[in-house]
């Protein structure tokens, strides 16, 4: 799933291409993508893009008359910049937004269509889609510690809960915990003050470094190779490969469709974390899929106004 660094670079690339430009046409190819009926999507056509904003892991395109298009890519959704009026080819192709200079093409791999588009009017309706997580790059240590200790979850769950922290998902949480030398199964309310300070520093440094790295890789182009498994990651996606810090093989723990990568030497004092232990610990703490974690935030308006049931 594209996370804070990926979404940041997506938005910066879009600002160069569509800010100040008129949305000529919005084409929907997937019947499950559009989750709202009022305002209609057609009301966005002909309006000029005034701003872009990140809302958790969502990309918000602000148009004239305070109208917003809110794109949630979920796990497999990706954006592409193509020539004007580029063809949208199902089943991967979901939608296209046509501008005078090109088209923003939206695709999603896999058979489970989880990506969503909301059309909302005004700041209150936009805020209703906000999961409410702390913006960690804008927070101080005190605010971070309060959010972390607000409930007693495992560190892995806490970092990826959009109601606690904004924009962090499975991939970067692995990298953050590795940098902080903390176990993914450590409970938040048992952390010491020095451990929380170390985690806070790791969150900020890791996300900042990856934003800069992705910016450098993208340059003036469009981020076409957004993936959860990147060259240069320390532990995520590196099961059985040597730890870059101590050379011990990276291990993993799995619970249903969730997977966590960690270094047993650097993070768990040499202890291997068994899958069955994770299952016992997270049975009541962890949703069955990453998608369920993203969809934990209730939104009565969305449920009442969506044009189709999921």
Q: What is the pLDDT of residues 243-296, one digit of tens each?
A: 999 999 999 988 766 789 999 999 999 988 866 545 555 555 555 554 565 666
Number of neighbouring beta carbons within 10 Å of residue 42: 10
Q: Where does 132-279 show beta strands of DSSP type E? A: 251-255, 258-262
The phi, psi pair for 129, rounded to 5°, reads -90, -5
Please tell me the predicted confidence (pLDDT) of residue 258: 73
d(CA 102, CA 18): 9
Residue 31, Ramachandran bin (φ over 0: left; ψ between -120 and 50: alpha; else beta): alpha
More confident residue, 176 or 30: 176
For residue 198, the surrounding DSSP H or E stretch is: helix 193-218
**Fold assignment, 4-132+297-305:** N-terminal domain of MutM-like DNA repair proteins (3.20.190)
Going by pLDDT thresholds of 50, 70 and 90, the confidence category of residue 297 is: low
Q: Where are the domains of the chain?
A: 4-132+297-305, 141-294
Q: Which of 215, 28, 4 is nearest to 104 (CA)?
A: 28
C-alpha to C-alpha distances, 159 to 55, 57, 171, nearest whole angstrom: 16, 13, 11
Number of neighbouring beta carbons within 10 Å of residue 292: 11
d(CA 92, CA 76): 10
Residues ≥6 apart with Cβ < 8 Å to 249: 240, 241, 242, 243
What residues form DSSP beta bridges with 49? 63
The model's pLDDT over 195-250, given as tens digits with 9 standing for 90+, comes to 999 999 999 999 999 999 999 999 999 999 898 889 999 999 999 999 999 999 99
The CATH code of domain 141-294 reads: 1.10.8.50
Mean pLDDT to the nearest integer, 57-78: 97
Can 4-132+297-305 and 141-294 be said to share one CATH topology?
A: no
270-276 — which CB contacts under 8 Å span 24+ positions?
273/183, 273/184, 273/185
The model's pLDDT over 130-141, given as tens digits with 9 standing for 90+, comes to 999 999 999 999
């Amino acid at each position: 799933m594209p996370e804070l660094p990926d979404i940041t670079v997506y938005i910066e690339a879009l600002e160069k291409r569509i800010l100040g430009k008129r949305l000529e046409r919005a084409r929907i190819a997937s019947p499950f993508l559009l989750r709202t009926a009022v305002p209609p999507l057609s009301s966005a056509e002909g309006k000029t893009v005034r701003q872009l904003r990140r809302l958790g892991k969502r990309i918000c395109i602000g148009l004239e008359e305070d109208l917003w298009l809110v794109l949630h890519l979920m796990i497999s959704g990706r954006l592409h910049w193509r020539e004007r009026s580029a063809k949208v080819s199902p089943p991967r192709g979901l939608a296209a937004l046509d501008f005078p200079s090109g088209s923003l093409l939206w695709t999603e791999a896999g058979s489970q269509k989880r990506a969503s588009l909301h059309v909302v009017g005004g700041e209150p309706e936009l805020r209703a889609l906000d999961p409410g997580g702390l913006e960690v790059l804008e927070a101080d240590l005190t605010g971070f510690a309060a959010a972390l200790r607000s409930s007693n979850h495992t560190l892995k769950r806490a970092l990826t809960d959009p109601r606690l922290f904004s924009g962090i998902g499975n991939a970067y949480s692995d990298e953050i915990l590795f940098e902080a030398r903390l176990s993914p199964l450590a409970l938040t309310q048992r952390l010491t003050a020095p451990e929380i300070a170390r985690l806070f520093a790791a969150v900020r440094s890791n996300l900042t470094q990856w934003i800069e790295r992705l910016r450098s890789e993208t340059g003036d182009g469009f981020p076409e190779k957004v993936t959860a498994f990147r060259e240069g990651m320390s532990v995520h996606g590196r099961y059985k490969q040597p730890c870059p810090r101590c050379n011990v093989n990276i291990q993993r723990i799995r619970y249903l469709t969730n997977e966590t990568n960690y270094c047993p030497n650097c993070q768990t004092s040499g202890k291997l974390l068994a899958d069955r232990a994770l299952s016992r610990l997270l049975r009541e703490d962890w949703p069955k899929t990453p998608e369920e974690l993203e969809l934990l935030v209730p939104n009565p308006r969305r449920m009442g106004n969506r044009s189709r049931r999921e």
